[in-house]
A and B are shown apart, each in its own frame.
Chain A
Amino acid sequence: MIRVATDRDRCIGSGMCVLIAPAVFDQDPDDAVVVLLDESPPETARPAVEQAVDRCPAAVIRLLPEPADRV
């Protein structure tokens, strides 16, 4: 499991995350701002989420560190 966070205040609704990882991200139909469908997607989603982090123009997606008890 990985942990994902988004900053909706600075999101510009570019749609890149939805293009790359549609199972994890969606957009609000009203303002196109990112909607996190799954805050803790499975490990298999990591490559797509990492790509979404890298390709988000507004840099509003973060992959959070593992909780301390799991490190």
Chain B
Amino acid sequence: MSLPALPLPDEDRQPFGPPPEYAALRTAPRLTRVTCPTGLDAWLVSDYAGVREVLGDGRRFSTRPGQAAHVLAAFRGPDSPVEGGFSQLDGPEHIRIRRNFAPQVSNPRRLAELQPLVEQITDEAVTRMLGSPQPFPLHSQFSTAITTAVIAELIGVPPDRRHLLHEAATALFTTSTTPDGLRRALEPLWAYLYELVATRRARPGDDVLSRMIEHSADSERPLTDAELTQMNGALLIAGFDTTASMLTYGLVCLLNTPGQWAKLCARPELAASAAEELVRYLGVGIGLLRQATEDTAIHGQPIRAGDYVVVAVQSGNRDTALHPDADRFDVTRRPGAHLGFGHGAHACVGQQIARIELTTVLRALAERVPTLRIEVPLHEIEWKRDSVVRGPAELPVAW
């Protein structure tokens, strides 16, 4: 008997997701079993409490197969194409890597240093945009330009090498990329970073990579060159594409939900809550994959060791258990304990950087470009089709 297919984002049908099927799935008394695009069968968890329970319990639900192996063809099979990938580690091994990341990306003191850099990059990008012909391609020339510059400056990747991370991200996030195709596509970035690690070991700078080297040198098990390469590669790839897409997608949502952009422009100090609300409302539409490590149960449904579980994060964030009016987008809302950055030990490692970037850029646009408008109607926006990072492929804007 064939199973129903996992409902996936389809922005032409539901521009700000999740697909309409989830309304019924979320309140159904039993979990549904689905077939995922990469062929694996999984239990589908789509309510807030269930998603939070699965993501919050790394002991029962492992991330070993890869968080998006239900949709990314490259992660099919037993061997990870991203060697040493920290997102596929569980327990103490994963904590060890996290603790080398965290002081650089989520420590308040480090983040305070980051704020002026993000403001400067944003101000320059807005000025450049205002001096450009219209319509202006916002996603490539503004959102991606800003988030690339921020993460590359943090890690110390010079402008002439930044194309390497764009190429790597395209391959990694494209659902149809094959395992070999992914290895080949990552190779140039990995080779460059491997060299960069050696350079920074010899001549440390004030960048994240140098600080990771220095920090881990004092630890019981210092990070290897391969680990440093993988960690910084992951930070670079995830660091620009997800945030850029959230910015562009977020502006479509802000400008197409009546009254929301006007509210933000009238009170630019709402940028922080608007950013958080966008992540709640639009985040992780594709869902996340876990694998049960033992015989267990979710909402009374027995789950066997080895069974796959897909958590529909975006659906969980629309659960009335989180907010009575969770399906409404509201920039004045305090989104609370939403799941848009994930949850549990694998929650987005760059989420504090993303908050600073999203807040700074939204505030700058609200203050300096309140007349911003999208030059095509919602139904004509060209959405990314084959990527796990959702949003418009490009966005023509004017002001």
A-B contact count (CB 8 A): 68
- Is B106 in contact with A15, judged by CB distance below 8 angstroms? yes
- Is B343 in contact with A32, judged by CB distance below 8 angstroms? no
Residue of A nearest to B109 (CB): A29
Which listed residue (A14, A18, A27, A32) contacts B347, Cβ 8 A?
Answer: A14
Task: Write the nearest CB–CB distance from A54 to chain B, whole angstroms.
Answer: 4
Which listed residue (B336, B342, B352) contacts A55, Cβ 8 A?
Answer: B336
- Report the separation of the CA atoms of residues A18 and B345 in the bound assembly, to the nearest whole angstrom: 17
Task: Write the nearest CB–CB distance from A31 to chain B, whole angstroms.
Answer: 4
A58 interfacial by beta-carbon distance below 8 Å: yes
- Is A57 in contact with B106, judged by CB distance below 8 angstroms? no
- Is A57 in contact with B352, judged by CB distance below 8 angstroms? no
Task: Write the nearest CB–CB distance from A38 to chain B, whole angstroms.
Answer: 17
Chain B residues, Cβ within 8 Å of A18: 108
Q: Which residues of B in the span 320-367 have a Cβ within 8 Å of any Cβ on A?
A: 336-337, 341-345, 347, 351-352
Task: Write the nearest CB–CB distance from B46 to chain A, whole angstroms.
Answer: 20
- Is B106 in contact with A14, judged by CB distance below 8 angstroms? yes
A5 interfacial by beta-carbon distance below 8 Å: no
Residue of B nearest to A12 (CB): B98
B37 interfacial by beta-carbon distance below 8 Å: no
Chain A residues, Cβ within 8 Å of B102: 12-15, 27, 31-33
- Is B351 in contact with A59, judged by CB distance below 8 angstroms? no
- Report the separation of the CA atoms of residues A10 and B160 in the bound assembly, to the nearest whole angstrom: 40
The interface residues of chain B, by DSSP majority, are classed as helix
Task: Write the nearest CB–CB distance from A12 to chain B, whole angstroms.
Answer: 5
A1 interfacial by beta-carbon distance below 8 Å: no
Residue of B nearest to A53 (CB): B337
Chain B residues, Cβ within 8 Å of A15: 102, 106-108, 111, 352
- Is A32 in contact with B352, judged by CB distance below 8 angstroms? no
Chain A residues, Cβ within 8 Å of B101: 13
Q: With A19-B352, A32-B99, A57-B342 as known contacts, state yes or no: A13 contacts B336, CB within 8 Å.
A: no
Q: With A10-B95, A27-B108, A58-B345 as known contacts, state yes or no: A32 contacts B56, CB within 8 Å.
A: no
B103 interfacial by beta-carbon distance below 8 Å: yes
B215 interfacial by beta-carbon distance below 8 Å: yes
Supplied contacts A13-B101, A30-B103, 16 more A-B pairs, CB within 8 Å: A12-B98, A12-B102, A13-B98, A13-B102, A15-B108, A15-B352, A18-B108, A29-B103, A31-B102, A31-B103, A32-B106, A32-B107, A55-B336, A57-B342, A57-B345, A58-B347
